[in-house]
C-alpha cells in the first residue's frame, strides 16, 4: 500500500500485528508477561542528545524540521544508535494537526508554540479537516523512511495529541498552566466546543490511520492535560473524543495497538480504559504502583512510569525506582517508560544506565 493511500472495508484485511509479531513491545501490548519489559522513553529523540541539537540547527524553524522527512527520520533514529531501546517513536509534534486544519502555527524561542486562537463558533467553523492528509503527507513519508531502517526487535510508534490537549493550545493560542481558557470555553459554549472536539477527533483519526498505513506498528494518543477536570468535562473532553478516534481508526481496518495517555487522570484511569477502547494505558509518575497493578493492569497492559526527575538525578534512587516498577508490573503486560518526557538537561549516561538496568537487571 502506498503512503497516504486509503483503505476500504472491502479490501483484504491487514495482517494483525497483535497476533503475527514477536517483537517484545507488541508482546507486552498483548498482555504477555516477560522476563524483562520492553522500554522506550517519551521524547527520547530530543535536546539531551548533542546530535539532535546539531541536526535541529540545520532547519529554519521547528515546523519545517518536523515536515522534512529526511531530518525527522534522522531525529527518530538517533537514540536507537546509542541505546538498546525496544521502539522508535516518530519525531513530530502534536500541534501539526491544528496547523493542518488551518491554524497559523509558529514556535517562538523561549516561549513555545503560538497559534491563531480558536475562541468562538466562527473560528471553529473556519477550520477544515479536508487538508489534513495533504498537509501531513511528509509525516507519513518520515514513517516509511524510519520503518525501512528498523531491524530486529525494534518497533515503530506513531502518535498524535488527543483532541482535548490539542484544543487547549488552540483555544488559548499558546500553552497554559491550567488550561483556563479551554475549560471556560467548554462550559460557556458547549455546542461550539463539541464541534471542535468532533473535528479534532476526525482529523486525528485520519492522521493515525495514515501513520499505520505507512508502517507504524503501535499508535499513541497523548492527552497531556487530562488532569484537573470535573467528571463531566473529563467525559466530554477526554473519554468521548478518544473513544471516537479509536472507533474511526478501527473502522478503517487498522488493528495495531493503541496506547492512551491520560496524564494526571488518577482514579479515572480505569474508566478511561474501559470506555475508550484503547489497547493499553500509559501512567504518569503520580500513579501508585500497587494501585495500578490491582486496578489498571487487569484491564489493560500498562506503560510507565518512572519520574523524569529521577532520570535527571540518576544514582541509587533511580535504580531503586526502576526495580520497583519492573517488579510491580512483572505479572502482566508492561512497557517501561517515564511518567512524562525526558528533559533536555538529562545526562546521557543516566539514560544509558536506565535502559541497561531495565533490559538486563
Active site residues: 43, 47, 56, 93, 169
Q: How far is CA 330 from the centre of its chain?
A: 23
Q: What would the 3-class secondary structure string for the chain be?
A: CCCCCCCCCCCCCCCCHHHHCCCHHHHHHCCCCCCCCCECCCCCCCCCCHHHHHHHCCCCCHHHHHCCHHHHHHHHHHHHHHCCCCEEECCCCCCHHHHHCCCCEEEECCCEEEECCCCCHHHHHCCCCCCHHHHCHHHHHHHHHHHHHCCCCCEEEEEEECHHHHHHHHHHCECCCCCHHHHHHHHHCHHHHHHHHHHHHHHHHHHHHHHHHHCCCEEEEEECCCCCCCHHHHHHHHHHHHHHHHHHHHHCCCCCCEEEEECCCHHHHHHHHHHHCCCEEECCCCCCHHHHHHHCCCCCCEECCECHHHHHHCHHHHHHHHHHHHHHCCCCCEEECECCCCCCCCCHHHHHHHHHHHHHC
Beta bridge partners of 262: 223
- Residue 168 Cα to chain centre, angstroms: 16
96, 160, 336, 287 alpha-carbon torsion, rounded to 10° = 100
Q: What's the grid cell of residue 179? A: 488550561
Amino acid at each position: 500500500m502506498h503512503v497516504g493511500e486509503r483503505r476500504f472495508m472491502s479490501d483484504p484485511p491487514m495482517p494483525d500485528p497483535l497476533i503475527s509479531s514477536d517483537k517484545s513491545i507488541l508482546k507486552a501490548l498483548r498482555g504477555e508477561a516477560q522476563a524483562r519489559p520492553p522500554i522506550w522513553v517519551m521524547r527520547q529523540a530530543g535536546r539531551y542528545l548533542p546530535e539532535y541539537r546539531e541536526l535541529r540547527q540545520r532547519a529554519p524553524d521547528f515546523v519545517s524540521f518536523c515536515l522534512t522527512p529526511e531530518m525527522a527520520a534522522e531525529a527518530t533514529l538517533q537514540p536507537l544508535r546509542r541505546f538498546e531501546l525496544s521502539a522508535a517513536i516518530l519525531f513530530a509534534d502534536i500541534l501539526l494537526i491544528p496547523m493542518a486544519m488551518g491554524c497559523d502555527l509558529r514556535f517562538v524561542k523561549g516561549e513555545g508554540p503560538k497559534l491563531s486562537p480558536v475562541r468562538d463558533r466562527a473560528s471553529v467553523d473556519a477550520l477544515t479537516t479536508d487538508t489534513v492528509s495533504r498537509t501531513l503527507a511528509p509525516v507519513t513519508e518520515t514513517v516509511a523512511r524510519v520503518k525501512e531502517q528498523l531491524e530486529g526487535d525494534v518497533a515503530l510508534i506513531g502518535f498524535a495529541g488527543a483532541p482535548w490537549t490539542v484544543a487547549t493550545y488552540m483555544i488559548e493560542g499558546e500553552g497554559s498552566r491550567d488550561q483556563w481558557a479551554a475549560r471556560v470555553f467548554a462550559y460557556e459554549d458547549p455546542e461550539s466546543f463539541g464541534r471542535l472536539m468532533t473535528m479534532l477527533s476526525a482529523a486525528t483519526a485520519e492522521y493515525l490511520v495514515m501513520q499505520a498505513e505507512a508502517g507504524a506498528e503501535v499508535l499513541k494518543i497523548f492527552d497531556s492535560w487530562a488532569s484537573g477536570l470535573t467528571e463531566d468535562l473529563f467525559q466530554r473532553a477526554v473519554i468521548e473524543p478518544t473513544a471516537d478516534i479509536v472507533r474511526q481508526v478501527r473502522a478503517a481496518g487498522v488493528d495495531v495497538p493503541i496506547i492512551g495517555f491520560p496524564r494526571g487522570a488518577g482514579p479515572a484511569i480505569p474508566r478511561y480504559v474501559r470506555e475508550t477502547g484503547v489497547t493499553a494505558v500509559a501512567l504518569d509518575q503520580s500513579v501508585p504502583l500497587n494501585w495500578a497493578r490491582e486496578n489498571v493492569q487487569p484491564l489493560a497492559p500498562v506503560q510507565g512510569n518512572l519520574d523524569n526527575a529521577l532520570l535527571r538525578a540518576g544514582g541509587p534512587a533511580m535504580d531503586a525506582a526502576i526495580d520497583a516498577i519492573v517488579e510491580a508490573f512483572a505479572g502482566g503486560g508492561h512497557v517501561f517508560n517515564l511518567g512524562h518526557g525526558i528533559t533536555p538537561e538529562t545526562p546521557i549516561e543516566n539514560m544509558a544506565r536506565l535502559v541497561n538496568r531495565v533490559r538486563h537487571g
